[in-house]
Structure 1
Amino acid sequence: MSLKLTNVGVTRVVLYANGVQVGSSTQAPFTVNWDTTQTSNGLGYLQAHAFDAAGNTTVSFSRNISVNNTGPATPAPDTVSPVIGIASPLSGAVAGIFPVTFNYSDNVGVVAVELLVNGQFYGRNTQAPFTFTLDSTSVSDGDYVLTARAFDAANNQGASANVTISVGNNTNNSGDTEKPIVTVSSPPPGAEVSGITPVEFETYDNVGVTRVVLYANGVQVGSSTQAPFTVNWDTTQTSNGLGYLQAHAFDAAGNTTVSFSRNILVNNLSP
């Protein structure tokens, strides 16, 4: 605080905050560096006492001030657990390769989802929407219990209800055992994509393809049950950078196949 008192003969100025001495100066122009952290926060006042060589003294009028050395409030710890449910598959029969998708929510945000099969850890996904792809042909036919666990940044976790699936890859009575064929025909290899991008396929099956599911970097991003099975891919839901597309094709008998990867570059960065 600078007190510019120009009366001839002033020898000392003493500064008071809320009636408590907080500094003094004997050198014109009598500036005092006041450490406000030593004064209580809130409304207050300053006064100056001036002295001359003869011992005469006077007190200034009060100057109202507000002291605020309060730091930012410490946020309350996050103790709310995420909520998660298995959206697909529903309990029932499955065959071939199929995605496991989830409905989830959290007061701050879900950062990871773990999948358990029959109570045993299967995998962890840290990229939304946290989809897993299961290949039921790698296990024996029978019943399996799926459970999901969701985690937030504070490591709170929530668990889903169980979903029981019945794997049946050896119950095809149609006689059709020929797998479909599928390739990604558009966009071309190495294409740079952004926004909503249509993805087209070439398909073949001896009876007929019934469904095509599109994956970007291993995460399901769309599906189609109507030939020619075009999927409008929202690339803004996929991380920017190099990546790949794959298509899974299914026929009515439950035969399925996976296409070769198609490399692409996602670029949704603002100019």
Structure 2
Amino acid sequence: MTRRLLLLIATTLCVGAVGCGMPGFSSASFTARTTNGGTITAAADWTPPTVSLQNPGSPLKGTVSVSASASDVETGVATVRMQFLPANASSWVTICTAVTAPYSCSWNTTSLADGIYELRAVATDNAGYSTTSASLSTTVANNLLVVLGDPGEIVRGTVSLPTVLYGAGATTYTVRVEYAPAGTTSWKSICTNLSSPYACSWVTSTGFANGDYDLRAVATSGATTTFSAVISGVLVDNAAPSVTMLNPGSPLAGLVTFEATATDADSGVAQVVLQTAVNGSSTWRDLCTVTSPPFSCRYDTTQVLDGTYNLRAVATDVAGNVAVSSTVTGRVVDNTVSSVSMTDPGAFLSGTVDLTAAANSSAGVTSVRIQRATSGTTTWTDVCTDSTSPYTCSWNTTTVTDGLYDFRAILVDGSGKVTTSATVAARRVDNSPLRGMDVQSANGGATAGKLENGDTVTFTYTDQVNPATVTPGWTGAATAVTLRVRDGNLLGLGNKGDTLDVLRTGGAVNLGAVNLKEDYLKSNKTATFNATMTASTTTVNGTTVSVVTLRLGTLASGGGLRTVSLASAMVWSPSSAVTDLYGVACSTAPATETGAADREF
């Protein structure tokens, strides 16, 4: 709390001083001033209220009571709003606002369409803080309501499709379950003449090509026919992925990279398990499990006995289909000789970095020398020599010119034999003062974890930038742009590599790209949103920096949006086209979202 208060005061004073003496484009306004010897008084209430919604049951009809419990130990509860959200809607509707306990109201469901609804309560205390309860799902059925069970976004094999009838009374109905290629009206039956309890099994592996399908249930009694809501875009995937185990060579010693390639045209690759077995054995042992390309891992071969081994890869797609690669046979592990490898220090290097090598020898390690060279040259310079594991040294990258560098390690063993590692090539030294500092997102829509209207994405630089280099002619004022999100499989990044970038009038806005590190879109889909881009300044650690904020509007094109429940840390790759106020180009070094990994949007 104290750090946030100090940052707010510093930011306000800096904005009041017109960007701390430098040109700026912040639209922030002056709000308060303090002087030496002044007094800061804390607010009476820093804690939001607590609130929970009571389950009204399901199904509902007519007028029902909706109740919540709420409390606030400091300034007390001012209001509790009861709200509902129809299925596939994005805006919550207020049923009533209660101001005294017990917090309840009557909900007349007769004016609503029958269907599934979400309910929640929003409590606000007398200090203005609000808390939203967990939502509850219920079904409104004032008439006959036909509900088809949702099988999920991706299915394979035999799938259960149960149907439930609400409000049927004593009338006898027969039910059929139908399918159509997604987006069409060519409905055909999966199950017919179903009687209660209306159970249906969909054998997707017989007569159904892989692809997206729409589903619905139809209830009939005499001349009366009632349809369920359509479940759209269910992907049938009964095809196994394609997977190949790559040959790592032979003999193998020390730390070795094992790798496979895997693709899946339908639901996408979920994971690849790399395995090994002693030659002649059928007992396979996992080396590693990888969930995104490249499907590779580093493994210390000294953890196994010297000998001959076989290798394979097992790929599983999101639907659960499994494929096993052909076996790479006869790979020899021999750690009786010296081996040395240079650890990759990373694609972008700045400031002081650790350079590390791994080395082993049956004769013992006398020393490991780490060297650097301008990329593509053969003029090597010693960085350090280390005689004890871990073989590492600190390198001040500011002592060399920015650019590409190669690295290697040279092992001298106890017998005097010299072994040189493979080269780690083209690692970029980049000490530009302007860099990407942080990227954050915030949920402003109806559904947490889903890209939608009202969500925001914030880019923070390490210094002030010239807004006209972000996009031509821009001053930082609110500007209409297009936010584009592409499925990671379109970019070779896998299911959890969905990527966000920004366009304006058909061209790229120079914000670079953000790898969202989760699966926000169905496989091979692209979605664009109308968005607004603004810029401002803030003060971080005494330095005035630029902040660019994107606020999502309505969905402009595409679809296939998913709701993500997992926490992740986004990675922003800035564009070097952006410069600071003095023309210094921005570093392209990726910036990982700071703070604890959280659920985005």
TM tier, shorter chain? 0.3 to 0.5
When normalised by structure 1's length, the TM-score is 0.45
In terms of fraction of residues, the more strand-rich structure is 1
Where relative contact order (Cα < 8 A, 6+ residues apart) is larger, the structure is: 1
When normalised by structure 2's length, the TM-score is 0.22
